[in-house]
Structure 1
Amino acid sequence: MSNLDTWLVVPLYNEATVIQQVIADAIQVFPKIVCVDDGSTDNSASLAESAGAYVVRHPINLGQGAALQTGFDYVLSDVATEYVVTFDSDGQHQVADASAMVARLRGEDVDVVLGSRFLDTRTNASRLKRAVLKLAVIFTNLTTGVRLSDAHNGLRAFRASALTSVRLRQNRMAHASELIAQIGRTKMRYVEEPVHIVYTDYSRSKGQSIWNSVNILVELILK
């Protein structure tokens, strides 16, 4: 399967250390990748381009939600697009998981496949991080009507036909719950897929800590 009908949308902000390898690995399976450079102050964008990705640039940092929406608009302008995957730029997501999720879209009568780090034991998250993320799950399940085991996982695969009904307005981390709410409101058919999120020293140094999860909860309550 060539996956020429599939785009990876990769929000990008100051990931010069790892982005070239992330794109080099992903492009072997997904030849169509767009990185939305969200006002990076390093050479992330040029490194992504050199690895084979298309790059769209925000002149200033607008947040991950805004970067995703820009990416969605870009890939939906390609008439060949059938499937769209959201994929992180810091090396936490696995290409094999993304491939399995697209395969489910091809073979099952669903609109979106949502990654979950809590459906198997591969992801090594701390007890405190798991507890905070579970609180986010409870909050999201109660407020959106969508029942998930992991509400803030950035690895997702959509049918393009379903994604046309999504419009993100929460620019920063609360966009994840906004997206789940739109999945519920538009009655998308959804399933979860177990995925392996790799927490490295690098990703933790970039802010993928327990405080990031706390910030998500604060944004959800205040939005």
Structure 2
Amino acid sequence: MSSVQPGPTVLVPAFRPGAALVQVVADLRAARPDWQVLVVDDGSGAAYDDRFAQVGAAGAQVVTLPVNCGKGAALKAGLAHAAAHRTGSPVVCADADGQHALADIVAVGERLVDDPDARRLVLGTRTFEGPVPVRSRIGNSVTCWLFAAAARTRVPDTQTGLRGIPAGLLAWACGVPGERYEYEMQVLLRAGRSGIALDVLPIATIYLEDNASSHFRPVVDSWRVYAPLLAFLASSLAAFAIDTIALLALQALTGDLLLSVVGARITSAGVNFVVNRRLVFDEEHRIRTRVAAARYAALATALLGLNFLLLSALDASGIALLPAKVLTELALVSTSFAAQRAFVFRAPGALTGGSQRRPTSPTGTSTTVDSTSR
């Protein structure tokens, strides 16, 4: 006899929310009374107690974090709560400002229900048609370009807050690092290397009052979002500089292109491996150094062959060594990132779902549910 799986849980992180949150909850409860709405108060403070009381009265369950921890921490607290208290329920993450249409939130939840065992994230991606704040249009375009360059995956809206997570991936999502806005980018970056597909679902683009309700800080939070992307590009740039200097020096000394390419790559690869392992692809449960090093050596050998072939072809065509080297590295950088993410530094069990341990609150602090400790 098969057990009936619970309906989706709609998770809404909220920090000092406006009245729109109450309407969001009321509309969801009216449209899908069998779904639960879980609101995480991210340390909004006593001044917002009345607002969250209204949210509870509208039909939501409220989890309260004692201090402001950031959107990522609030999301992970909600995911952990859903996994612990609603076993088997997929989670739809939505924003608190009313900028996700009810029909779109429901559509993401229904996509999860249609195939509950699929190893994928459902992304409600905006079309960016109509009036869109300039900072939002530019910010999304830049982020999409950087994400495509780093991950070799095209996502039309990397900054969407409307996301669906199957029940089987909640533990994985709770283990993704990041406490603030960077968490959502980390989820996308780490999905591919964990064998998780990105399922794109177009949604309406809604900005209320030129996005005035957003708590996003353009400088600080943009840096948090871009940092995971820029870390790999910076690591690659450093390796490129070392590789190029060594190549030019060895070529001048030996006159042998193959020997110079091999010697330069051995020099730069050691630096690149250490930096990427510790700073770019760091995980809570890191893969053993010997295993990662063996995988990296295999990848480096393959890339070395490609590097030499491309460089030789460009050199034979009459292009000088330095510009030929630049063109070669630009052609291979995204391939290197994708391979390191998916193969070299893949965490143990990443392709099979990993540990099934119950996720815990990422904040390390107690939370309250409807004003009682959970």
Alignment TM class, shorter chain as reference: 0.7 to 0.9
Q: Where does residue 14 of structure 2 map in the other structure? A: 12
Aligned equivalents of 2:149, 2:221: Cα separation in 1: 16
Q: Is the 8 A contact 2:39 2:60 kept in 1?
A: yes
Aligned-partner SS, 2:85: coil
Aligned-partner SS, 2:31: coil
Q: How does 1:18-57 map to 2 (within 5 A)?
A: 18-30=20-32, 31-41=35-45, 42-43=48-49, 44-57=51-64
Structure 2 residue 216 is the aligned partner of structure 1 residue 192: no
Q: Is the 8 A contact 1:115 1:156 kept in 2?
A: yes
Q: Cα deviation per residue 1:81-104 (whole Å; 9 max; x = unaligned)?
A: 332100111111112112212222
Aligned equivalents of 1:16, 1:134: Cα separation in 2: 28
Q: Where does residue 122 of structure 2 map in the other structure? A: 113
Summarize the Cα distance change of 1:79–1:128 in structure 2 as closer, same or farther, 3 Å threshold: closer
Residue type at the aligned position of 2:43: G
Aligned equivalents of 2:225, 2:208: Cα separation in 1: 26
2:136 to 117, 129, 132: 129
Summarize the Cα distance change of 1:19–1:127 in structure 2 as closer, same or farther, 3 Å threshold: closer
Q: Is the 8 A contact 1:87 1:156 kept in 2?
A: yes
Identify which of structures 1 and 2 has the higher relative contact order when contacts are C-alpha pairs closer than 8 Å and 6+ apart.
1
Structure number with higher helix proportion = 2
Summarize the Cα distance change of 1:78–1:146 in structure 2 as closer, same or farther, 3 Å threshold: farther
Q: Percent identity?
A: 25
Q: Which runs of 5+ in 2 are unaligned?
A: 229-374
Summarize the Cα distance change of 1:46–1:168 in structure 2 as closer, same or farther, 3 Å threshold: farther
Aligned equivalents of 2:214, 2:18: Cα separation in 1: 15
Q: Where does residue 371 of structure 2 map in the other structure? A: none
1:220 to 225, 228, 233: 225
Q: Is the 8 A contact 1:5 1:80 kept in 2?
A: no
Summarize the Cα distance change of 1:222–1:49 in structure 2 as closer, same or farther, 3 Å threshold: same
Aligned equivalents of 1:216, 1:141: Cα separation in 2: 20
Summarize the Cα distance change of 1:193–1:48 in structure 2 as closer, same or farther, 3 Å threshold: same
Structure number with higher strand proportion = 1
Q: Is the 8 A contact 1:152 1:177 kept in 2?
A: yes
Summarize the Cα distance change of 1:222–1:127 in structure 2 as closer, same or farther, 3 Å threshold: closer
Q: How does 1:40-189 map to 2 (within 5 A)?
A: 40-41=44-45, 42-43=48-49, 44-108=51-115, 109=118, 111-118=120-127, 121=129, 124-166=131-173, 167-189=175-197
Q: Which runs of 5+ in 1 are unaligned?
A: none
Structure 1 position 79, deviation (Å): 4.6
Q: Is the 8 A contact 1:65 1:168 kept in 2?
A: no
Return the TM-score normalized by structure 1.
0.86
Return the TM-score normalized by structure 2.
0.53
Residue type at the aligned position of 1:156: R
Structure possessing the higher radius of gyration over alpha carbons: 2
Structure 1 position 218, deviation (Å): 1.7
Structure 1 position 215, deviation (Å): 4.5
